[in-house]
Amino acid sequence: MIKNDLFLKALNNEKVERPPVWMMRQAGRYLPEFMALKEKYDFFTRCRTPELAAEITVQPIDIVQPDAAILFSDILVIPQAMNIEVEMKPNVGPWLPNPIRSAKDVEQVVVPDIHEELGYVMDAIKLTKEMLNNRVPLIGFAGSPWTILCYAVQGQGSKNFDIAKGFCFSQPEAAHALLQKITDTTIAYLKEKVKAGVNAVQVFDSWGGMLSPQDYQEFSWQYINQIVEALAPETKVIVFGKGCWFAMNEMSKSKASALGVDWTCSARNARYLTGGNITLQGNFDPSRLLSPIPTIKKMVHEMIDEFGKDNYVVNLGHGILPNIPVDHAKAFVDAVKEYQVH
């Protein structure tokens, strides 16, 4: 039995004393302990070495003490497993030397054997579960098919993913073939993660907000929904679409257990758009963690009041930034633990 199961209760629509809290990217770059390992090992070595991935996953549980752990990994391990080369370049971020630009390129993309290509992730999960020792639940994750396509086609990060969008609009058949391959791989991958021991999964649609509402339905949501449908019978699924408030009504009708909200959408609008009964997660602006600690605590309490303590998971509206002081991250978590219903 998990000792602190607040997070799972919130996903189950159960009443809670206070909402649970965790932070996207909590296992990472704002922690000096993480930076010490970063000095020694390159990015994908950290992802592919189960001992390192487990250690990094558990660091914030020991230091900041949120109510859930999220496995240290990256959304780009999926394209790597699918025969798409991905590097992490210093000061550039993800770099794909051979981006996908044609139907012929899509044919070269494989739906891999998950154990063969991504077995190291499952080993990391098992090791992490041992280290967590049932203290808190463990979340596994994957990128949305559209977000993975963005990198695979663009070849690197981008402000507008114009090449990726152009590919979808000029070669829709090839785009849909690629999206389906990514979807099939992601479903198999997340199912293995559940078997390995994660307690919930989150799908990150980081670049969903780049699409118009109509294109979002065609190139993103229908594929995310396939993942939700396939995984909902086996585990709790959270969907986080950054900038995708326009799709929240549609998302709320799916089998997802919770929806992530970014900081541009108010609690009131999020509750209104989702009909008021699905669990919501979010939506503190990550940059706001640079505010003075008393301000952070006050704003967190106001945020909980706005969302309501039930059917709610406190989180940031996107990943924590590298320049956030650890005591500010801790203040964010502590504010939730100190919350009293007025």
Residue numbers belonging to the annotated binding site: 25-29, 44, 74, 151, 206, 318
In this structure, are residues 21 and 7 in contact, taking their beta carbons and an 8 Å threshold?
A: no
Question: Which residues are annotated as part of the binding site for substrate?
Answer: 25-29, 44, 74, 151, 206, 318
3-class DSSP state of 239: strand
Tokens at 37, concatenated = 């390992």
Residue whose tokens read 């829709």: 172
Cα torsion at 268, 274, 279, 285 (round to 10°)?
A: -50
Residues 6+ away with beta carbon under 8 Å from 315: 21, 22, 23, 24, 260, 281, 282, 283, 284
Residues 6+ away with beta carbon under 8 Å from 134: 1, 2, 3
CA 86 – CA 19 distance, rounded (Å): 38
**Phi, then psi, of 118 in degrees rounded to 5:** -125, 20
